[in-house]
Amino acid sequence: MSITAINVRNQFRGTIKEIIEGPVVSEVDVQTPSGLIVTSVITTRSVKELGLVPGKDVVALVKSTEVSIATL
């Protein structure tokens, strides 16, 4: 299966740097070519089904209805 079109505008190509696997959910760190780290929390089942491992090239898709800002 390949994606020919998608409505998610925020897309970050990168390489999986680290996976912290839990019993139900896992954290997947994706490093972009510029060094930015995007972290996704997904089910551990999805990690296994997608064959995610450190070093694998992926695209992080970010879709959100809200982005919060806090002052320092």
Q: What is the CATH number of the domain that holds 34?
A: 2.40.50.100
Taken as a whole, the chain contains a residue count of: 72
Query: Would the pLDDT of 50 be above 60?
Result: yes
pLDDT band at 69 (very low <50, low <70, confident <90, very high): low
- Rounded to an integer, what distance in angstroms lies between the CA atom of residue 22 and that of residue 14? 22
Alpha-carbon distance of 19 to 11, in angstroms, equals 19
Q: Is residue 22 part of a domain?
A: yes
Helices (H), the chain: 44-50
Instruction: List pLDDT tens digits, range 25-46.
Output: 999 999 999 999 989 999 999 9
Considering the domain boundaries, does residue 35 fall inside one? Answer: yes
Confidence label for 16 from pLDDT (cuts 50, 70 and 90): very high
Give the number of domains in the chain.
Answer: 1
Query: What band does 1 get if pLDDT is binned at 50, 70 and 90?
Result: low
Structural domain containing residue 34: 10-62
